[in-house]
Structure 1
C-alpha cells in the first residue's frame, strides 16, 4: 500500500512540475486584457479587445489598433461565464519571459494577439503572432484558447 501511495505522490509532483499552464490569478485588482488585431482588415472584427477580471468581462469600444486608447464597457454575466476560465490557460512561461513580441504580429497580414496581465501592481504586455510557426510551442494552446474565447464572445 505504501508503494502505491508513494507512486501516486511522485506522479502528482511530476505532473504538476511539467504543467506549463497553471494559469494566473484574477483576484481583486488583477486583470487580463486579451484581444486580436488585423491591420489589413475592414469591419468591426478587425480589432477586438476584452478585459477579464475575477468577476466581470468588459469590451473595449475604441478598437485602437495600437492599444493605447481604451474605453471598456461591461458585458453580460452570461458572456463572462463563457470566458472566465481563460486565465487558467495562461502559460506561466509567458510571465517569466523577457520578450514582449513573439514572432512578427500582423507583419504578414496574419494578425496578432495582444495580451496584458496586471497582477500584484505589475503590468506586462505582449504581442503574439497568430502564425504558430513563428512563436514558441508553449504558446500554441494559449493562442487557440484566446481565439476560441473571442469567437464565443462575438457569437
Structure 2
C-alpha cells in the first residue's frame, strides 16, 4: 500500500510468476456509491446515498433520495459535502471483500423485506460498475459480508 496525501491507494500488481496464486488482490475502487434505504419510513433519513471519489478525495450526498432498484445501478444527483466528512468514508474500500466483486449485481439476502432496510453499495473500478442491495440482517448474509455491513452502518451514522 502506498500513502499518498493521507489517502491509501490500494494496488495489486502481479507478474506472470504469480499466475498460480489464487489469493485475490485487494479491490481498488475509483469510486464508491454507498448508503442505506428504508421503504416503510418517513423523514429525510429514509434514503441516504453517498458518492465517494478517491481520485478527487471528495464525498458527496445524493439529493434525489430515490429508492434503489435491483435491476440497475443507482443514478443520483450529488452535492459536495464539507471536506471534513471525507475522512469518515476514506477507509471503506478496505472493507470491501474481493468475494463481493464476484457476486452478481442485485440483492444479497432480503434487503428491506421486513421493513428493516437495506444497504446500497456500488463499486466503480476501471470503468466497470458492480452494485448490490445488501440486507441489514446478518442472519440473511454470508459471514464474509458481516464486517462490511458493520462498517457501512458505522460510517453512515457519522454522515449528514
TM-score normalised per structure 2: 0.77
**Structure 1 residue 109 displacement after superposition:** 0.4
Residue pairs, 1:49-68, within 5 angstroms: 49-54=49-54, 55-66=57-68, 68=74
2:127 matched residue in structure 1: 121
Structure with bigger helix share is 1
- CA-to-aligned-CA distance 1:54-102 (integer Å, 9 cap, x gap): 1110100110013644110111111101221111111111001235311
- CA-to-aligned-CA distance 1:95-154 (integer Å, 9 cap, x gap): 012353111110110100111111111111101110110010110110010111100113
How far apart in 1 are the matches of 2:145 and 2:112? 16
How far apart in 1 are the matches of 2:105 and 2:82? 34
Which moves more between the two structures, 35-44 or 82-91? Answer: 82-91
Count of equivalent residues: 133
Mark the runs of 5 or more structure 1 residues left unpaired by the alignment. 1-16
Find 1:141's aligned residue among 122, 127, 147.
Answer: 147
Structure with bigger strand share is 2
1:39 matched residue in structure 2: 39
- CA-to-aligned-CA distance 1:7-38 (integer Å, 9 cap, x gap): xxxxxxxxxx88x8x75324xxx200001000
